[in-house]
Amino acid sequence: MAHKLFIGSLSFSTSTERLRELFAEAGAVESAAVVVDRDTGRSRGFGFVEMATAEEADQAVARFNGHELDGRQLKVELAKGTGTGGGPRRTGGRGERW
């Protein structure tokens, strides 16, 4: 089972491949992704990396939290599970009452 990490404060120029290469220094990377805006295709400044084991994930957090990459100081932490963020999205569509 892979262990997902949240990577914050990424430079807009950091690629998914660069992220994968960096975290491979801490162990086996199952997946890596820089999150991009769906309309512009531009990086949103954060991403996710999945490490193969809990030990490698912990090692990656210890090693890369605060590490400088492409001129930015990374924020690396264990990703929170889904369903922990914000409330329902309001779209302003038909039938909604304010």
Q: What is the CATH number of the domain that holds 57?
A: 3.30.70.330
- Does 62 map to a domain? yes
26-74 pLDDT, tens digit per residue, is: 999 999 999 999 999 999 999 999 999 999 999 999 999 999 999 999 9
What pLDDT sits at residue 93? 55
State how far the Cα of 98 lies from the Cα of 92, in Å rounded to an integer.
9
Question: Structure tokens of 38?
Answer: 């769906």
How many domains are there within the chain?
Answer: 1
- Does 38 map to a domain? yes
State how far the Cα of 16 lies from the Cα of 58, in Å rounded to an integer.
20
- Does 45 map to a domain? yes
Residue 24 is classified by DSSP as G
Domain that holds residue 21: 3-78
- Does 89 map to a domain? no
pTM above 0.85, yes or no: no
